[in-house]
Amino acid sequence: PDMPKTAFADLWATIRSGKMWQGFVLNRGAHGRVYWVRAMVFPCYRGRNLEGYISVRTKPSRADIERAIAAYRRLP
């Protein structure tokens, strides 16, 4: 989908630094359908070792989607 690379770069930089990232992501489903989600992504640790990431996604409102589209258009 048409997501700015800088948006994904921010997501990865944030979670790799050990912090939670929250934002809107444009996904493509198995049958090619494009859809928006509100995502919260958390690094998951076992002790001090990073084991992976957990993503909690919910359906955003139409207003949220419109704000995300406008914000992403301003990104390089």
Whether 26 has a pLDDT exceeding 80, the answer reads: yes
pLDDT for 28-76, tens place per residue?
A: 999 999 999 999 999 999 999 999 999 999 999 999 999 999 999 998 8
The partner residues of 45 in beta bridges, in order of sequence, read: 50
Whether 1 has a pLDDT exceeding 70, the answer reads: no
Whether 15 has a pLDDT exceeding 70, the answer reads: yes
Query: What residue ranges do the domains of the chain occupy?
Result: 5-73
Whether 2 has a pLDDT exceeding 80, the answer reads: no
The predicted structure's pLDDT at residue 3: 83
- 5-73: CATH topology is Beta-Lactamase (3.30.450)
DSSP-assigned letters across all residues of 12-75: HHHHHTT--EEEEEEEE-TTS-EEEEEEEEEEEEETTEEEEEEEEEEPPPHHHHHHHHHHHHT-
> pTM of the prediction?
0.82
> How far is Cα 25 from Cα 36, in angstroms, rounded to an integer?
6
